[in-house]
Amino acid sequence: MHTTTTTRTLAIAAALTLGLTLASCSTSSNTGSDAGSSATLSSAASAHNDQDVMFAQMMLPHHQQAVEMSDMLLAKGDGVDPDVATLAKQIKAEQGPEITQLTSWLQGWGEPTESEHSGMGHSMSGMMSDSDMTDLDQASAKDAGQLFLQQMVQHHKGAVDMAKTEVDKGKNTDAVAMAKSIVSSQTEQITQMKDMLASK
């Protein structure tokens, strides 16, 4: 029994050594083709057009503002309508990871995370103005819920419009997939928020 175990151990050790040796040879002799294949994979993953870049650059500050609005509401504490607070938490949970992904794409594409597009008309993309944000920040806990819903309906509409353009004209498959997800989830939330406003 002992001999069998020893033999098996030696056989495994020999196999591992051979495997490592072969792997080493393979790595050193095929450096060129390995680099080529990884470059091809990288190229396929980052294939994009100007629309993808614009989508990411504009959706990034848009999402960041939605998270900021949600934080403002939640900071008001227990006086906020619990249903609205739950929605704000959901928006943060959905858009936080997307902010990270959008940033990662732009960095991977060698593009800046900000562009001249980001500052274009607030009304076009549904972005809140500075005074809108101040109104929300200064609203009482009781009033903030309704104001948040009114503002976020407009905010979401802007995001859905941008996402639909990306679905139609974007090239990067991952970016288009995110855009489709935004259209679906935020259209659903717009309906939910309108229902909440109507019931108040």
Q: Please list the pLDDT of the chain residue by residue as tens digits (200 residues).
A: 554 554 454 444 444 444 444 444 444 444 444 444 444 445 555 699 999 999 999 999 999 999 999 999 999 999 999 999 999 999 999 999 999 999 999 999 999 988 765 554 444 579 999 999 999 999 999 999 999 999 999 999 999 999 999 999 999 999 999 999 999 999 999 999 999 999 97
The residues, ordered by sequence, that sit 6+ positions from 70 with a Cβ below 8 Å of its Cβ are: 88, 89, 91, 92, 148
Residue found by looking up tokens 């994009």 in the block: 48
In this structure, what are the phi and psi dihedrals at residue 116, rounded to the nearest 5 degrees? -65, -20
Say how far apart CA 193 and CA 160 lie, in whole Å.
Answer: 15
CA–CA separation, 76 and 116 (whole Å): 34
Rounded to the nearest 10 degrees, how much is the dihedral formed by the CA atoms of 150, 153, 158, 163?
Answer: 160
Q: What is the CA radius of gyration of the chain?
A: 25
